[in-house]
Amino acid sequence: MPLSQPCGVRPPAPSARRARHAIPGGLWALALTLCCVPTASADDAPPPAASSGATVRLPVIPGSLGPGAPCTRSSPTAMTVVPWTHAVLGLPAVRQHSRGAGVTVAVVDTGVAPGTRGLQGRVDAVGDAGEDCVGHGSFVAGLVAADRESAAGVDLGGVAPDARVLAVRGTDPRGLPDPARLAAGIRAAADARAGVIAIPLALPESSPRLTAAVRYAAAHDCLVVAAAVPDAPAAVSSRAAAPARFWPASDKGVLSVLDFGPDGGRPDGARSPVRADLAAPGDKVVGPGPRGTGSFTGTGASFATAQVAGAAALVRSRYPKLSAEETARRLTATAYPADVPRLDTYAALTVVPHVDAAVPQPTPRRGVVVSLSGEDPGPRRIALLVGSVCLTAVLAAAAARGAVRARRARRAAAAEQT
């Protein structure tokens, strides 16, 4: 099929007298190529997210239980489509580079129930942390490392599905934390040689004991990842409170994490920190419960902390020579620029830093492919504009060259006649 047909462009046929001054056919091929700038193919599209299908109503995982309240029951509803967080984190592509094998992530929370779906055989517990009445710790652990699919084969797993989980109690059995209990949990995780310590808790005050525990973890090369703010309660005011400090996220050496939702914003009334190191998906996230096969949903920085902890496990698995500090630096240096830099898991695994000799350069697996989205005309217009400018310059140069040759030919013919 002629190259001109797909674009509907047909170059004019030069006359016999001007054939040697005509624009070369290769330039027309270039013109046709620029006209046919490709849009994104189906292979480039992200997997269908939860927002693209029918509305699925899931129960909310609680952060704590009131006095006398029963333990969190199993969810009657199972998620059937890919959560929106998978596309944002690029998990299908990420898992070609790392799945977190060989790394243990300690979840210092309400415990992790043995029946948490997708974690069977990969959970160790410190003390009584193998039980979880509340369900929050089990949900967080699932976001970090669950390896599970729906009945239809839809991926509902966590960020690092080959990582191990260490369940550590950071609260009382009802989900209420305090600095002393949390400090003991951090030390226990460090003694167990966890590569990453996920702390979905944010306390309004610290203590010398808690600060010392964080330093102890750093001395044992454990990367501490903590929520920058508490999760918003079920009923919140539309007026956000002034930014504040919370612990252990505010301690030196802790990677503090803030949340954002599918629209890129945060819920009304959500607390704001004085500062945070990274932002990750944390609003309307979907994960497993402590019992049963159903799914729960949750909103808050505690769940964004789980995503970053999973990403840290991926990096430490792919680059085992990196220290905890170097891993944190890699995660923040490769993040999307924003007021609070946003986690870019794929870049954290593949980008070669300018200054970090400890990170080997990954072997390229395929060539670079430029793909322009059909939904966003901006990149296409830019490509067409740049291509048009380049083409115009090439054609103008060719035309000028042809004109010079024509003048020379006319002068030569006139000289012969005289």
Q: Which of 86, 109, 132, 206 is catalytic?
A: 109
Is the distance from CB of 313 to CB of 141 less than 8 angstroms?
no
Q: Which of 147, 302, 317, 344 is catalytic?
A: 302
Annotated catalytic residue 136: yes
Annotated catalytic residue 52: no
Q: Is 394 exposed, middle or buried, given 0-12, 13-18 or 19+ CB atoms closer than 10 A? A: middle
Tokens of 354: 């300018």
- d(CA 201, CA 306) in angstroms, rounded, equals 11
Residue 381 neighbours by CB distance under 10 Å: 12
Q: Which residues contact 328 (CB under 8 A, 6 or more apart)?
A: 223, 255, 277, 312
Annotated catalytic residue 376: no
Is the distance from CB of 106 to CB of 166 less than 8 angstroms?
yes
What single letter denotes the amino acid at residue 162? Answer: D
- Please give the radius of gyration of the chain, using alpha carbons only, rounded to the nearest integer: 29
Give the CA diameter of the chain: 116
- d(CA 200, CA 277) in angstroms, rounded, equals 15
- d(CA 127, CA 222) in angstroms, rounded, equals 20
Angle at 47 between CA 43 and CA 50, to 5 degrees: 160
Q: Which of 136, 206, 283, 344 is catalytic?
A: 136
Is the distance from CB of 123 to CB of 114 less than 8 angstroms?
yes
Of the candidates 252, 256, 251, the residue with the CA atom closest to the CA atom of residue 272: 256
Q: 45-62 in b/e burial notation, b at 16+ Cβ within 10 A?
A: eeeebbeeeeeeebbebb
- d(CA 359, CA 357) in angstroms, rounded, equals 5
Alpha-carbon distances of 285 from 143, 162, 165, rounded to whole Å = 9, 20, 20
Give catalytic residue positions.
109, 136, 302
